[in-house]
Amino acid sequence: MELDYFVSVFQALTGISSLLAGFASAGILLGVPAQNNPFLKLGFVTSTGAALGFNLLVVLIGSLVVMWGPGRALRGEGVESVSFAVEFMEVTSETCLIYFVLGLGCYFASSVFAAWILFKVQSSIFISVFFLVAAFVLIQQVGQLYLELKPPIVISGRIRGNPLRVPVDSTSSGGTYATGSEQR
Protein backbone atom coordinates (compact mmCIF):
# COMPACT_ATOMS: atom_id res chain seq x y z
CA MET A 1 0.00 0.00 0.00
CA GLU A 2 2.80 2.43 0.82
CA LEU A 3 4.56 1.55 -2.43
CA ASP A 4 1.41 2.37 -4.40
CA TYR A 5 1.08 5.66 -2.54
CA PHE A 6 4.62 6.77 -3.37
CA VAL A 7 4.31 5.60 -6.97
CA SER A 8 1.19 7.78 -7.36
CA VAL A 9 3.00 10.74 -5.72
CA PHE A 10 5.90 10.44 -8.15
CA GLN A 11 3.58 10.02 -11.12
CA ALA A 12 1.70 13.20 -10.21
CA LEU A 13 4.91 15.20 -9.68
CA THR A 14 6.38 13.86 -12.91
CA GLY A 15 3.29 14.71 -14.94
CA ILE A 16 3.05 18.30 -13.73
CA SER A 17 6.81 18.86 -13.94
CA SER A 18 6.93 17.62 -17.52
CA LEU A 19 4.25 20.16 -18.42
CA LEU A 20 6.15 22.98 -16.68
CA ALA A 21 9.42 21.87 -18.30
CA GLY A 22 7.72 22.10 -21.70
CA PHE A 23 6.54 25.62 -20.94
CA ALA A 24 10.04 26.59 -19.77
CA SER A 25 11.67 25.16 -22.88
CA ALA A 26 9.25 27.18 -25.01
CA GLY A 27 10.27 30.25 -22.99
CA ILE A 28 13.94 29.67 -23.78
CA LEU A 29 13.12 29.83 -27.49
CA LEU A 30 11.39 33.18 -27.01
CA GLY A 31 12.89 35.98 -29.09
CA VAL A 32 14.10 38.76 -26.79
CA PRO A 33 14.39 42.27 -28.28
CA ALA A 34 17.95 43.60 -28.30
CA GLN A 35 17.11 47.01 -26.79
CA ASN A 36 15.94 45.61 -23.42
CA ASN A 37 17.67 45.97 -20.09
CA PRO A 38 20.49 43.38 -19.81
CA PHE A 39 19.56 42.64 -16.18
CA LEU A 40 16.02 41.74 -17.25
CA LYS A 41 17.46 39.46 -19.92
CA LEU A 42 19.80 37.85 -17.41
CA GLY A 43 16.96 37.34 -14.93
CA PHE A 44 14.75 35.88 -17.63
CA VAL A 45 17.35 33.46 -18.96
CA THR A 46 18.44 32.42 -15.45
CA SER A 47 14.92 31.84 -14.13
CA THR A 48 13.80 30.07 -17.30
CA GLY A 49 16.87 27.82 -17.31
CA ALA A 50 16.43 27.07 -13.60
CA ALA A 51 12.74 26.27 -14.14
CA LEU A 52 13.63 23.90 -16.96
CA GLY A 53 16.44 22.30 -14.96
CA PHE A 54 14.47 21.76 -11.74
CA ASN A 55 11.45 20.39 -13.59
CA LEU A 56 13.55 18.03 -15.71
CA LEU A 57 15.25 16.89 -12.51
CA VAL A 58 11.85 16.04 -11.01
CA VAL A 59 10.87 14.18 -14.17
CA LEU A 60 14.10 12.18 -14.19
CA ILE A 61 14.09 11.32 -10.47
CA GLY A 62 10.37 10.53 -10.48
CA SER A 63 10.60 8.30 -13.54
CA LEU A 64 13.56 6.35 -12.17
CA VAL A 65 11.96 5.87 -8.76
CA VAL A 66 8.68 4.71 -10.31
CA MET A 67 10.59 2.21 -12.46
CA TRP A 68 13.09 0.89 -9.91
CA GLY A 69 11.44 1.41 -6.49
CA PRO A 70 8.76 -1.28 -6.68
CA GLY A 71 11.21 -3.64 -8.42
CA ARG A 72 13.63 -3.30 -5.51
CA ALA A 73 10.82 -4.06 -3.07
CA LEU A 74 9.66 -7.14 -4.99
CA ARG A 75 13.01 -8.66 -5.93
CA GLY A 76 14.93 -8.04 -2.73
CA GLU A 77 15.67 -10.43 0.09
CA GLY A 78 12.85 -10.56 2.64
CA VAL A 79 10.93 -7.80 4.30
CA GLU A 80 14.00 -5.57 4.56
CA SER A 81 13.91 -4.85 0.84
CA VAL A 82 10.33 -3.58 1.05
CA SER A 83 11.19 -1.43 4.06
CA PHE A 84 14.25 -0.04 2.31
CA ALA A 85 12.29 0.76 -0.86
CA VAL A 86 9.52 2.52 1.07
CA GLU A 87 11.95 4.55 3.19
CA PHE A 88 14.01 5.49 0.13
CA MET A 89 10.90 6.53 -1.79
CA GLU A 90 9.70 8.60 1.18
CA VAL A 91 12.98 10.52 1.51
CA THR A 92 13.26 10.95 -2.25
CA SER A 93 9.68 12.25 -2.50
CA GLU A 94 10.50 15.00 0.00
CA THR A 95 13.58 15.99 -2.01
CA CYS A 96 11.62 15.82 -5.25
CA LEU A 97 8.90 18.04 -3.79
CA ILE A 98 11.54 20.68 -2.94
CA TYR A 99 12.81 20.58 -6.54
CA PHE A 100 9.22 20.83 -7.78
CA VAL A 101 8.50 23.92 -5.67
CA LEU A 102 11.78 25.54 -6.80
CA GLY A 103 10.92 24.80 -10.44
CA LEU A 104 7.44 26.25 -10.02
CA GLY A 105 8.82 29.38 -8.36
CA CYS A 106 11.39 29.82 -11.13
CA TYR A 107 8.64 29.42 -13.71
CA PHE A 108 6.61 32.18 -12.03
CA ALA A 109 9.71 34.43 -11.99
CA SER A 110 10.39 33.60 -15.64
CA SER A 111 6.86 34.61 -16.59
CA VAL A 112 7.21 37.95 -14.79
CA PHE A 113 10.56 38.63 -16.48
CA ALA A 114 9.04 37.74 -19.85
CA ALA A 115 6.23 40.22 -19.23
CA TRP A 116 8.71 43.01 -18.49
CA ILE A 117 10.77 42.16 -21.56
CA LEU A 118 7.94 41.78 -24.08
CA PHE A 119 5.22 44.24 -22.99
CA LYS A 120 4.86 47.91 -22.16
CA VAL A 121 5.15 49.13 -18.57
CA GLN A 122 1.38 49.26 -17.87
CA SER A 123 0.84 45.70 -19.11
CA SER A 124 3.92 44.47 -17.26
CA ILE A 125 2.69 45.95 -13.98
CA PHE A 126 -0.73 44.31 -14.44
CA ILE A 127 0.82 40.93 -15.26
CA SER A 128 3.27 41.17 -12.36
CA VAL A 129 0.49 42.00 -9.89
CA PHE A 130 -1.61 39.15 -11.27
CA PHE A 131 1.26 36.68 -10.84
CA LEU A 132 2.01 37.93 -7.32
CA VAL A 133 -1.65 37.53 -6.32
CA ALA A 134 -1.75 34.08 -7.92
CA ALA A 135 1.44 33.08 -6.08
CA PHE A 136 0.02 34.37 -2.77
CA VAL A 137 -3.25 32.44 -3.26
CA LEU A 138 -1.30 29.34 -4.27
CA ILE A 139 0.91 29.51 -1.17
CA GLN A 140 -2.12 30.12 1.05
CA GLN A 141 -4.04 27.17 -0.43
CA VAL A 142 -1.06 24.82 -0.18
CA GLY A 143 -0.52 25.87 3.43
CA GLN A 144 -4.16 25.22 4.26
CA LEU A 145 -4.09 21.81 2.55
CA TYR A 146 -0.88 20.95 4.37
CA LEU A 147 -2.37 21.83 7.76
CA GLU A 148 -5.60 19.94 7.07
CA LEU A 149 -4.19 16.79 5.44
CA LYS A 150 -0.77 16.29 7.07
CA PRO A 151 -1.17 13.77 9.91
CA PRO A 152 0.11 14.97 13.30
CA ILE A 153 2.00 11.72 13.82
CA VAL A 154 3.52 9.75 10.97
CA ILE A 155 3.79 6.03 11.60
CA SER A 156 5.99 3.99 9.33
CA GLY A 157 4.86 0.62 8.05
CA ARG A 158 8.33 -0.79 8.61
CA ILE A 159 8.37 -4.30 10.04
CA ARG A 160 11.06 -4.85 12.64
CA GLY A 161 11.90 -8.37 13.64
CA ASN A 162 9.85 -11.52 13.25
CA PRO A 163 6.17 -10.79 13.96
CA LEU A 164 5.49 -14.52 14.50
CA ARG A 165 8.08 -14.83 17.23
CA VAL A 166 6.44 -14.84 20.69
CA PRO A 167 7.86 -15.75 24.12
CA VAL A 168 7.06 -19.32 25.27
CA ASP A 169 7.83 -18.50 28.87
CA SER A 170 5.87 -15.33 29.61
CA THR A 171 7.44 -14.86 33.07
CA SER A 172 10.92 -14.11 31.75
CA SER A 173 11.74 -11.23 29.45
CA GLY A 174 14.73 -12.91 27.86
CA GLY A 175 13.36 -16.44 27.82
CA THR A 176 12.69 -19.03 25.18
CA TYR A 177 10.83 -18.15 21.97
CA ALA A 178 8.60 -20.20 19.72
CA THR A 179 8.07 -19.65 16.01
CA GLY A 180 5.40 -20.77 13.58
CA SER A 181 3.61 -23.98 14.57
CA GLU A 182 5.30 -24.17 18.01
CA GLN A 183 3.20 -21.28 19.30
CA ARG A 184 0.46 -22.07 21.79
**Residues 79, 38 contacting (CB under 8 angstroms):** no
- Looking at per-residue pLDDT, the higher value among 61 and 73 belongs to 61
Tens digits of residue pLDDT in 108-136: 999 999 999 888 999 999 999 999 999 99
Q: What is the pTM assigned to this prediction?
A: 0.77
Q: How many whole angstroms separate alpha carbon 72 and alpha carbon 76?
A: 6
Tens digits of residue pLDDT in 138-155: 999 999 998 888 877 666
